[in-house]
Amino acid sequence: MGVVKVRRGFHEARWEEPIIFELSNEGERGILIPLDDKIRREVGDVLSSIPEHMRRKDPPKLPEVSQMRVLKHYLRLSQETLGADLNIDIGQGTCTMKYSPKVNERFVAMVRELHPYQDEETVQGALEIMYKLDLFLREISGLDRFSFQPGGGSQAIFAMASIIRAYHKKRGEERDEIITTIFSHPSDAAAPAVKGFKVITIYPDPETGIPDVEALKAAVSKRTAGMIVANPEDTGIFNPRIKEFCDIVHEAGGLCGYDQANANGIMGIVRAKECGFDMGFFNLHKTFSSPHGCGGPAVGALGVRRELENFLPVPVVDYDPERKAYYLNYDLPDTIGKVREFYGVFPVVVRAYAWIMALGEEGLKEVARVAVLNNNYVMHRILREVRGADISYPANKRRIEQVRYSLKKLKDETGVGAEDVIRRMADFGFHLWTSHHPWIIPEPLTIEPTESYSKEELDEYIEALKEVVGEAYEEPETVINAPHRSVIHKIEDNSWFSDPKKWSITWRLFLKKHGGKL
């Protein structure tokens, strides 16, 4: 049995690192540029080729820092960041913070210097990986064709909203409403609004937390263009009537888009197709293991049913058996155009392909099963052992891969709320996240254990949470004033984020507004 430890002596790196501009020393250089003397002799002063009024007179006020100092500065900042590789990163629920296998970084290094407009015959390996990952995702979703162009989940939602719009336009129907649920990702509401849709939000049954089918029936009309929802939702609750939801929207003439940013608990168990969806997307940086990179770059792999294939962004990858060659196919007559230049964040595609190849069909199912097992284990431990904590919709204990918890009781009894607990968890070497707004569940926390952490690691997380909650009852000030052993101390003055006279979005604004003094 592995050891379970509460790291009371933990302290994150605290370098008190200055801002890069404060390290500047006139004349220092971080790197030299290859100015070619042979070329210079041939062409002379090239700067004079730029008309006087277009030539930069004042050099940009960038810092001047020697190479090792730049390296050290950013290494220190990296040490002041708690990536999933160091964390037991289960506290960032909905984000699927799983292990990103290191070997995949080797593959990524092999595709760095490919230009997107190279002749197709010189990128057959790249196209083969895109083509085959498309085939894999078809199996996992039951949908018929994928595009990797969207650069993240929100952009994939935007692409789905664009397809819904193009589809109705082609049919000459004026439909301008999109339905979502409150526990679907905020972008499921926000992105369709950008596409000109009015958004209708369905709330759940107050007992079960399951989206209210009667509310859906009341919401659909001949204005319904479509529905975009997650399932399971942010609460971790799976809507068992999802097929009926899709049927209702279809009968009203709408299309159904599935937000499967996070499909980690249901791979191989239930698919978009059997639920009745017309399209959907997987975040390759979530379920399919590509690292999150502090927030991208990423891929929201967008899949559609055959009938919608021609609406996908161009190009898609095809295979020509005669030439025995993969190629980029721009011939989609109803295409929405593009949502991002080129073909997507290719390194993310490579990692997802390699991850699936390492697991196979049984491995993917095992990922889902263990993610669900881990989640239910954590949930039952929290319910039994963490004072002041409860789950959202406590009457319904059926959760898939994550759970939205509530610390309302803790807040009522001690004055210590979710945001305090989050800051204190940092003192034990953990990240914990509240939840997307609006906070329908009071004092929320969302935990998603994924398949990547051992039982002992899950236990360690819970032991730390118990310790923090214990402190909330015994010495609440410790929690309220946290963090103490993290990189920095508590930020209490929020006026710097809201007052135009104070906000310092850049170093130069800090100098202008505050004279460089906090």
Partner 1 sequence: MSHPYIPNSVERVKREMLSYIGVSSIEELYASIPEEIRFKGRMNLPEPLRSEYELYRHMREILSKNVSCEDYLCFKGGGTWPHYVPAICDEIAGRAEFLTAYAGDPYEDHGRWQALFEFESLMAELVDMDVVTVPIYSWGHAAGTAMRMAHRINGRREVLIPRTISPERFLVVNNYVDPALKLIKVDYDKERGMMDIEDLKRKISRETAAVYFENPSYLGFIETGGKEICEIAHEMGAICIVGVDPSSLGVLEPPSHYGADITVGDLQPLGIHMNFGGGLGGFLATRDEEEFVREIPYRIFGLAKTVKEGEYGFGDVLFERTSFEKREKAKEFVGTAAASHGIIAAVYLSLLGPKGMRELGEAILQRSAYAMKALSSIGLKAPKFKAPHFKEFVVEFPGRKSVEEINKELLKEGIFGGIDLRKHFPELGNSALYCFTEVHTKEDIDRLVDALRRILG
Q: How far is the CB of 26 from partner 1 (least distance, A)?
A: 10
| CB nearer to partner 1: pick between 73 and 413 | 73
In the block, tokens 């039982």 appear at 455
Helix (H) or strand (E) holding 353: helix 346-385
SS (H, E, C) 374-436: HHHHHHHHHHHHCCCCEECCCCCCCCCCCEEEECHHHHHHHCCCHHHHHHHHHHHCCCCCCCC
The backbone region for 469, taken as left when phi is positive above 0, alpha when psi lies in -120 to 50, beta otherwise, is alpha
Contact 234, 203 (CB under 8 A): no
Q: How far is the CB of 148 from partner 1 (least distance, A)?
A: 9
| CB nearer to partner 1: pick between 142 and 413 | 142
| CB nearer to partner 1: pick between 151 and 226 | 151
Q: Find, among 247, 201, 246, 256, the residue nearest to 225 by Cα.
A: 256
Q: How far is the CB of 415 from partner 1 (least distance, A)?
A: 18
Q: How far is the CB of 311 from partner 1 (least distance, A)?
A: 11
The structure tokens listed for 254 are 């709408």
| CB nearer to partner 1: pick between 268 and 413 | 268
Burial class (CB within 10 angstroms; exposed 0-12, middle 13-18, buried 19+) of 440: middle
| CB nearer to partner 1: pick between 65 and 410 | 65
The structure tokens listed for 296 are 């991208």
Q: How far is the CB of 419 from partner 1 (least distance, A)?
A: 9
Q: How far is the CB of 351 from partner 1 (least distance, A)?
A: 10
| CB nearer to partner 1: pick between 201 and 409 | 201
Which residues are CB-contacts of 146 (< 8 A; sequence separation ≥ 6)?
A: 133, 134, 137, 138, 301, 302, 303, 316
CA dihedral for 306, 307, 313, 317, sign (positive or negative):
positive
DSSP letter at 115 equals -
| CB nearer to partner 1: pick between 37 and 412 | 37
Q: How far is the CB of 91 from partner 1 (least distance, A)?
A: 10
| CB nearer to partner 1: pick between 135 and 412 | 135
Q: How far is the CB of 307 from partner 1 (least distance, A)?
A: 20
Q: Find, among 149, 17, 6, the residue nearest to 74 by Cα.
A: 17
- The distance of Cα 404 from the centroid of its chain, to the nearest Å, equals 17
| CB nearer to partner 1: pick between 355 and 388 | 355
Q: Are strands 316-320 and 255-260 parallel, antiparallel or unpaired?
A: unpaired
Q: How far is the CB of 86 from partner 1 (least distance, A)?
A: 6
Which residues are CB-contacts of 373 (< 8 A; sequence separation ≥ 6)?
A: none
